């Protein structure tokens, strides 16, 4: 994997982008839910009550080296649900945690997709399905806006035809920046142009990293948006744990949802955290950042 050295006033940092999972205890990444949180006072509305704050949190489990959630003692963490970027017919549910299914393009094209999804629906009616992961990132699903609109349309209607009670969520883009929101604008336009209606969705998801958008390192430029590359945010390494940027980007995403007719939909922040090595972001920095994000989600 390509590595580069960047030097700033805090000293040299070596970036290895083979490591793309938030380093936390149990090797799990936490995510929160912004449920119906209005971005401005003028749009304020009541939010659903959460009797247990833990219902708003869950984990991402990386399957690297064959790990599953069963390898970790998750009971003390009091989370409500998790995902592992794949589908499972009979998912493990430690501590009563729910499992979020995820359909990725390679699985969608597989010969066993239909029989597998039918089995999952039979065993898990009303499940949450996330259609894709970071379609705006070439090292993940890597789809142009038009290609993702087609993928989402086909998956959404395939699932709803088999289980109308299923909850279908759009894939999370890497981060909420003007460039990524432009990507989603183009997805919505492509969907409407192709199918004559607004993109239907039960929930929205987004990732909340703080990474530069260029072709050298970071979040890269979304597929099909090369002509807009100059709109990319050129965050510094030391912006990576900036709570002000983190909060502002999520509020901006909520505003974007409202502007596009999705104000009444829940927003799940399904991936975020500190990706850079501890030489730059030691335990104390990670702790303070994560604690600050939890306070924000629960506010």
User: Is 46 part of any domain?
Assistant: no
In the predicted model, residues of the chain with pLDDT beneath 50 are 1-30, 35-47
Residues 6+ apart with CB under 8 A from 155: 103, 108, 129, 131, 168
Domain housing 146: 22-37+56-298
State the pTM of this model: 0.85
Identify the sign of the CA torsion 15, 284, 30, 41: negative
Q: Please report the pLDDT score of residue 23 as a whole number.
A: 30
Q: Let me know if residue 65 belongs to a domain.
A: yes
Query: What are the residues whose beta carbons fall under 8 Å from the beta carbon of 86, sequence distance 6 or more?
Result: 63, 102, 104, 107
15 part of a folded domain: no
Report yes or no: 215 and 221 within 8 Å, Cβ to Cβ: yes
In a domain, 2, yes or no: no
Number of compact structural domains in the chain: 1
Question: Given this model, what pLDDT does residue 21 score?
Answer: 32
Q: Tell me, yes or no, whether 293 lies in a domain.
A: yes
Query: Residue 273 falls within a domain, yes or no?
Result: yes
Is there a domain that residue 45 lies in? no
Q: What is the CATH number of the domain that holds 220?
A: 3.20.20
pLDDT at 299: 84
Q: What is the pLDDT of residue 41?
A: 34
Element (H, E) at 64: none
Q: What is the pLDDT of residue 87?
A: 96
Residue 136 domain flag? yes
């Amino acid at each position: 994997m390509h590595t580069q050295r960047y030097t700033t006033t805090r000293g040299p940092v070596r970036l290895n982008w083979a490591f793309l999972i938030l380093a936390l205890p149990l090797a799990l990444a936490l995510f929160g839910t912004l449920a119906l949180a209005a971005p401005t006072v003028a749009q304020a509305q009541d939010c659903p009550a959460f009797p247990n704050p833990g219902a708003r949190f869950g984990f991402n489990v990386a399957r690297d080296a064959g790990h599953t959630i069963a390898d970790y003692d998750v009971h003390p963490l009091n989370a409500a649900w998790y995902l592992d970027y794949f589908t499972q017919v009979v998912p493990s549910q430690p501590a009563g945690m729910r499992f979020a299914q995820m359909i990725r393009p390679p699985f969608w094209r597989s010969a066993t997709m239909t029989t597998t999804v039918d089995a999952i629906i039979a065993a898990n009616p009303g499940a949450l399905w996330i259609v894709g992961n970071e379609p705006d990132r070439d090292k993940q699903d890597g789809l142009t806006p038009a290609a993702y609109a087609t993928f989402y349309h086909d998956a959404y209607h395939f699932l709803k035809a088999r289980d109308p009670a299923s909850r279908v969520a759009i894939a999370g883009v890497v981060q909420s920046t003007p460039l990524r929101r432009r990507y989603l604008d183009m997805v919505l336009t492509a969907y409407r142009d192709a199918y004559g209606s607004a993109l239907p969705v039960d929930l929205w998801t987004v990732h909340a990293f703080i990474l530069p958008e260029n072709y050298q390192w970071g979040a890269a430029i979304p597929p099909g948006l090369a002509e807009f590359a100059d709109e990319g945010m050129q965050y510094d390494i030391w912006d990576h744990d900036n709570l002000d940027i983190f909060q502002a980007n999520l509020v901006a995403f909520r505003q974007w949802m409202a502007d596009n007719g999705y104000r009444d939909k829940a927003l799940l922040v399904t991936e975020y955290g500190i990706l850079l090595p501890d030489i730059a972001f030691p335990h104390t920095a990670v702790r303070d950042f994560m604690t600050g994000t939890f306070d924000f989600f629960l506010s």
